Amino acid sequence: MNIVEKYGGTSVGTIEQIQAIALHAKHMKEQGHNLVIVASAMGKTTNKLIELAHSVTSNPNKRELDSLLSTGEQQTITLLAIAMNSIGLDTISLTGYQAGFLTSKHHSRALIKDIDTTTIQAHLDQGKVVVVAGFQGATEYGDITTLGRGGSDTTAVAIAAKLGYQCHIFTDVDGVYTIDPRLYTRAKKLKSISYEEMMQMACLGAGVLETRSVELASKYNVPLFLGKALETDLKKGTWIMHKELEDMPITGLSVKDDYAIMRFMHLPNDGVYLGKLFKMISDLNINLDTISQQLDDEGLANFTLYCSEEQSNQIMEHASKEYPVHQMLGYIKLSLVGLGISTHSGIASKVLNILSENGIKYYMITSSEISISLTIEKKDKVKAVQALGKAFDL
């Protein structure tokens, strides 16, 4: 079998864990598997590097910050390669640049433009285990970039898509649950979930997989597995795959924390004026979650934007001097996801009735064919999750 395995930071946090992965890799090679391993930085290394940069200046240069952060993954892959070579396993480590990752120039949130897998394939043909640094690549000018939160997931799936391999994402959780078990102890582990549902759950706050990684897996039909690190029984985790429509209308519930509402009031309903506003947001490489527009009695435009608190602060920094804007913090986005939503009537009314019965206010409701999302106050998160989890038997 041809496999790309990805190990998250908590799975490579100690030398003992790294040595255990090395033994696992040797066992996999002895079984005849071709193996690429993608690794994140050890433990909280990335956070420590960010703190180190901020100890120098409160506003570190983004190009240099990416260069610094990339050393976290380089440390992990080198230690993994050393551990594997020490037990007789022919192994080579590659940075994102060495592995052929060409990215956009958006530092800290770069997008993968292409991967030249020539080097990876050459080493695989020689029978080596190839250990690749996740989370990073380089621009056409050789500047190191990072892919943003969950970027190692995207690295792994992108390599699997290029090589035609399976992709196994190993982490500190044993699969995808209907709800975060830390919020709802009765949550159920899913044996399988569709690409579409997983994308929605990831996009809407489920932290187990990065949205772009699932999107890539779906686009290139990469068999994607999520499970606990070093688990050899692939029936114990969750498979993300194409699925037929099921009777169960709701598959899971996601929570997106630190949600912000931004209101731009009384703007000229002018394409040029509004175009400048949204170009500014685009230049910040911010993808808005939701946009709502209304016209007042005077024909002026009122916009309500929904995004993360971090993105909201970026917009405020650049827009508050030119546009009348009101920032509202302290919200979360609660989303029910399921392929059956489009075929089952009454789900939205049931959700709203449950919130009403529990005295929970909502500020925005949006829906798609496979999701219903509501913005509520952060203080009501646990109450809302438990009430909806019980009502929909999640």
Binding-site annotation: residue ranges? 6-9, 46, 73, 171-172, 177, 182
Tell me, rounded to whole angstroms, the distance of Cα 173 from its chain centroid: 15
Phi and psi angles of residue 150, each rounded to the nearest 5 degrees, phi first: 75, 15
379's tokens: 């203080």
State the pairing for strand pair 252-267/325-337. antiparallel
CB 222 within 8 Å of CB 161: yes
CB 49 within 8 Å of CB 69: yes
Angle between helices 62-86 and 45-56 (to 10 degrees): 140
Query: Binding site for substrate: which residues?
Result: 46, 73
| Cα 44 to Cα 9, 94, 122, 216, distances in angstroms | 7, 21, 33, 27
Count each helix (H run) and each strand (E run) in the chain, helices first: 11, 18
Alpha-carbon distance of 322 to 336, in angstroms, equals 37
Q: 21: Cβ–Cβ under 8 A, 6 or more apart, which residues?
A: 7, 11, 12, 37, 80, 83, 229, 230
207's tokens: 């932290």
End-to-end CA distance of the chain: 34
Please report the beta strands in 46-191, taking only residues with DSSP state E, as ranges in sequence order.
91-94, 101-103, 112-115, 129-133, 136-138, 144-146, 166-171
**297, containing H or E segment:** none
Task: Look up tokens 């598959």; give the residue.
Answer: 251
Alpha-carbon distance of 250 to 159, in angstroms, equals 32
Amino acid in the structure at residue 51: E
Give 254's strand partners: 335
Q: 193: Cβ–Cβ under 8 A, 6 or more apart, which residues?
A: 176, 201, 238, 239, 240, 243, 251, 252
Query: Binding site for ATP: which residues?
Result: 6-9, 171-172, 177, 182
Alpha-carbon distance of 234 to 225, in angstroms, equals 8
Max distance between CA atoms of the chain, in angstroms, equals 76
Alpha-carbon distance of 145 to 69, in angstroms, equals 9
